[in-house]
Structure 1
Amino acid sequence: MGLARGADVGVVQGVGDRVWKFIWGLNVPPKLIHFIWRACSGVLAVKSNLFRRHCCPDDICPSCGVDSETVLHALYLCPSIRQYWEASGFEELLSNTATTSVSSWVIEAIELLHGDEKGRFLAMLWAMWAIRNDKIFEEEQRCPDVTILGLVRMVAEYQGYKNACVGGGGRVLAADVGSGAWSVPNVGETKINCDAAMFDGGEVGLGAVGRNALGEIVFVASRRCRAGWSVDVAEAKALEFGLEIAKRLEMEVVVLESDALNVVKAVSKRAFSRNSLGMCVSDICRYFSLLAVKNICHVKRGGNTVAHLTARICHIAGEERIYVTDFPTPVTSLAELDLI
């Protein structure tokens, strides 16, 4: 079962206290809490609410021009934003979530998610509202991918800062988990951020972005493959792809960075084996003798958004794109955010 298309009740009867305690207890920025509270209350300025208050002549969604624009429609059901949910990793969970109100939908989805996924889901909701408003009110629209990844990163950084200040629920070793923010490499080094994106049909996107000590982009590389790889193997292939491009461009001193902690550990420990990941580790380490690879580091997802976006540039299996000038605008916009 999916969402009821007419559902737009703020708080269903008998759930009110639970909803408010739940919302105000979320570990996300106060602005996001306030947005979620307004969404769950059903008071966002969507067309159905404005029409009910005689502020506009109809309640038709300004984005799709077909359905009544309720809060649920604006944040999830509208065809104009479904593509972003489908690429988010949450689509399967949300499509099986049966609700009759925004509040119970949000709570049910959050309760099915774990750890950092909760913050990413709420950041996605916030981004959907920002994208909707950009389309309607802004002459020059921001790239939706930049909006999404920027808000996801902001929420992740807030959570990391708050956990560092008040203490988290478990012991985290500094050597195991990297920073939540991207940082520039040393002078003379090129830092290469790598990531993989999993698509339907066994297709995988690989992304690698090299930047210098000023934070300037040196190259952007994306490749799409048809392969039945596991997530860890795909992440390892992304690292290998980044090194392949560095070798092609004759780079000297290289620092690798990935948000795949298991893969970073495996490469750091030279964990060679006969399984798929072990063979990938072996292939990666071969490049260490061909390039001056100074280090391989882990960075949290919020610090790897540029590579994450780059992994989605190619749309056809077998396609490869390499930029050394005239970099894609969404990538440069995200790279600029890393320097703030």
Structure 2
Amino acid sequence: DFSRDCPKCGASVETLVHALKDRQTARTILTLGGLDGRLLNKDYPYCIDWIEDVICFLDKKVVADFITTLSDSWNNRNNYVFRGKEEEARVIWDRAKSLCQDFRIHNLINKPVVPMTPTLKKWEKPLCRTVKINFDVTVFNNKTCFGVIVCDSNGFVLGGGGDFKEEDMTVEWAELYAFEEGLKIAPSLNIANAIFETNCSIKWANRSCNKVVDFMCKYAIINNCNLVFGMDYPREIHDF
């Protein structure tokens, strides 16, 4: 039968908090690391409660060192359980300290694999005499909901609104629907110059990539007609 007692000190029912904090070797490692006695002497029913208190007490850089120390302490415990070998607390602490230092040096002299590009996460005022129309959409429970807000160059709200459809759309079509509703608001507020802003990704195509639709615009104007077709499209399209 598998025993749940602590293999080192014989404590009944070894818990995670006991293995990482209360076991003598683990406690010595944490003490060498300078962990505050209040975080070592207090009893915790669950390990997550103890770690939460530690994270709230320490700053971000020290928390990273703390997690590294816990990892080395846990590996040392496993070596004792499965191999019958356990290193001294000072050796474990020196290894954890060296590893943390190596990580710091690596982070200072090497570029991150995924570079962090700072992004501006606040609303930006449009140019003078220009209105900004922000719109967004949400698809939930077979409903498509949109929201629109209109602000001038001073940040004052000129109008806005929201609505929903009893229809389940893809994200792309839903964003297009919200954009369409934003376009309807512009003339109702007599807006001459507007900037539309959303978090949807939009790909702009230059004129050479859009020759067919450019032709259809001119075709409709020259012939003064509404151009709607299916398979029976105008023969001129073949020229493109």
Please indicate the TM-score interval, normalised by the length of the shorter structure.
0.3 to 0.5
Query: Highest CA radius of gyration, 1 or 2?
Result: 2
Question: Normalising by structure 1, what TM-score?
Answer: 0.29
Question: Normalising by structure 2, what TM-score?
Answer: 0.40
